[in-house]
Structure 1
Amino acid sequence: AAPPAAAPPERRRRQDPAAGPAAPEAGVFRSDSRRPPSDQTLDRAYDDWQAGRVDEAERAYEQVLRRDPRSADALLGLAAIAVRQGRYERAQNLYLRVLESDPADPTAQAALINLHGGGDGGQSESRLKTLLAAQPDSPPLHFALGNLYSRQRRWSDAQQAYFQAYALDPDNPDYLFNVAVSLDHLRQGKLALQYYRMALSAADLSRAAFDRNAARQRILELQP
């Protein structure tokens, strides 16, 4: 599950849609796994992660790595767990291990840019666009670009990037949530309301990083 990049505009700031505070960043976890279908340990690890059993998921991913130290899915799973725990240096090292085997891995590339916060501005944007030119169907890369734009308060650009991520992975609750947030900041309340509701529905079926209570509160504020 990929984490949200921004929060809905606060009610007292509704006249200033660019004033909404950014939420903490986290890693990007690849859901379109390339693992063999017979790997039950990876299946169990992912199911534990989805169910919020983080310790169990971590142990299962570590078990996979002992058997296959280059397993991209296990490395990405452990990296996402490390980010959730605030262990950012460990997460970065895990993502770099993925890139050692596959320098073009879009999830690891996007996650590293998210972890660094896009502090280099134009260089991060240029790097993401270069990656997208080679891999235009990668949801994590579009999502990372949306995160970069949201930190710069470029909400129109962020909305387009988030929507592209959602179009490529329509069941991802965090992609839906960030489409809603960007629309909200653009004062498109009716559409934002629709996507907040869709995000909550998707979060009932798949692990989500966004604050559900914040989404529910914003729905109440946007309802006619």
Structure 2
Amino acid sequence: MMDRSSAPRHRTRLAQSAIRLLYSATAGSLYDRVVVRGAFPLFGGHMPELLIEQGRAAADDAGAMPVLDMPVGTGVFAAPTALLHSGLVAGVDIAGGMVTQAKKTAEDSGAFNLSVVQADAHHLPFADDSFGAVVSSNGLQVIPDAKTALRELVRVLSPGKRLYLSVVTLPVGAALSRGSSGRLPVVLSSSAGIVDALIDSGLSVASVKRERLALLAEAVKPVRPNPELGRLAVTPAGEP
């Protein structure tokens, strides 16, 4: 019989297994055709173009330091980032099928500085402060323990550098109090809920943009932690 303390970990492992199977099974042309070229424009408007812009900004912001892209998916957005960056771009995904496809995308596009590994977002295999920019495109809302994953992204980001985040959410949290909204899963979070999650992870929020159901944010890891940084009224139009 499972004790209560181990139940959350068990649920997380089950969710991770399901994610690995689902995303590995769709990692070929199906994912890019259905999700990137179909669902992204439908639910996120100009989201594909905006993700390319986030990658370009990350490549510029990183300077000579490596860039992290997590989850890398098929590499359809990481490869253009790598082509714009003079240094290493590390792609991470929990799904083995996505890792295989991202490696193929990198090879086919000539992005030979894109290195892809399979790893758990809750336990990234990188040292603290090792990346000059971190990109997380359309993944945080399906990661079982998003708060832990976000803290990991912040941990490996160098102080003074930026996280470029995008998520697709049904902003149910906009109808709730800010405290109640913060307890919702990412996929139901309002813009304010995402902002609070970024701040709680130690970041200063620089910008937030809504594009239909997609939310895109940039946040800076302060050189010196300051809990008051980033608490800005950055609620996009259309949300209270």
- TM-score when scaled to structure 1? 0.32
Structure of greater relative contact order (alpha carbons < 8 Å, 6+ residues apart): 1
Greater fraction helix:
1
Greater fraction strand:
2
